[in-house]
Amino acid sequence: MYLEPIQYALGALSGGLVGFTLGLFGGGGSILAVPLMVYIVGVPNPHLAIGTSAFAVAANALANVVGHARRGAEGNPGAQCSRENAPKVVIFGGLTGIFSGFFGIGGGFLIVPGLIASTGMPILVAIGSSLVAVTAFGLTTALNYAFSGLVDWALATVFIAGGAIGGLVGGVVARKLAARKGALNIAFATLIIVVAGYMLYKSYLQLR
C-alpha cells in the first residue's frame, strides 16, 4: 500500500502516543492504535489498520518490557503467583480475556488491576508484567493478519519508531508518578473512566 510522506509522519506521531500510553499504564495502546491508524494516518482498509497496529503495539510493548525489566522496581515479596493465590490469578486472567473478547478491546488496561487484585503487587510492577501479556496478544493477532498480507511493514516501522520514543517518556513519567503516593493509581483510574466513556459512546452510535 502506498501512503503519502505526511501519512508516515502522522504514523510516527501516533506511535509516539501509543508508546507513551503503554509505557505509562501498561495497556490502552490497542484501543488507541486502530482509530489513530484509520482516522489520523488515513489507512483506507480497516483490516490492514488492525493488522499493522497489532504488530506495532506488540513491538512497542516488548520494548517497554525490556525498559521496565532493566529498571526493576521495588516489590512486595508476598506478591507472587503462588499455590495459594494461583486460582485467583487464573480467574482474573479468564475474566480479562472474556471482557476483552466481548467488548472488542485490548486487555492490557484490564490486566493491571487484575494483577493487583489477585497478587497484591505494586502498580508499577503490574504495569511491567502487563506488557508481557500485551506483547503476546499483539503478536498472535499480528501473525494471523500478516499471513493474509494485512500488515503494512513500512507504516509499522515508523509507528514502532515513534512508539519507542513515546514509551521511554511514558516509563519516566510512570516512575515519577509512582514515587508520589497514589498519583499513578489515580492516573490509571482516569484512563479506565476514559475507556469506559469511549465504549459507551461506541454503543450509543451502534444503537442509533
Instruction: From first to last of the 208 residues of the chain, give the pLDDT tens digit.
Output: 667 889 999 999 999 998 898 888 877 777 788 888 888 898 888 888 888 988 998 888 888 887 767 766 755 555 666 667 778 878 877 777 676 655 545 566 678 878 888 787 787 788 888 888 888 878 888 888 889 888 999 999 999 999 999 988 988 888 888 777 677 778 777 877 876 777 677 667 767 6
Range of the domain at 52: 5-207
Separation CA 49–CA 123 (nearest Å): 31
Instruction: Report the domain count for the chain.
Output: 1
Q: Which long-range contacts (CB under 8 A, 24 or more apart) does 49-53 make?
A: 50/141, 50/145, 50/150, 51/141, 51/142, 51/144, 51/145, 51/146, 51/148, 51/150, 51/151, 52/145, 52/150, 52/151, 52/152, 52/155, 52/156, 52/159, 53/18, 53/159
Rounded distance, CA 111 to CA 133, Å?
A: 8
pTM score, two decimals? 0.75
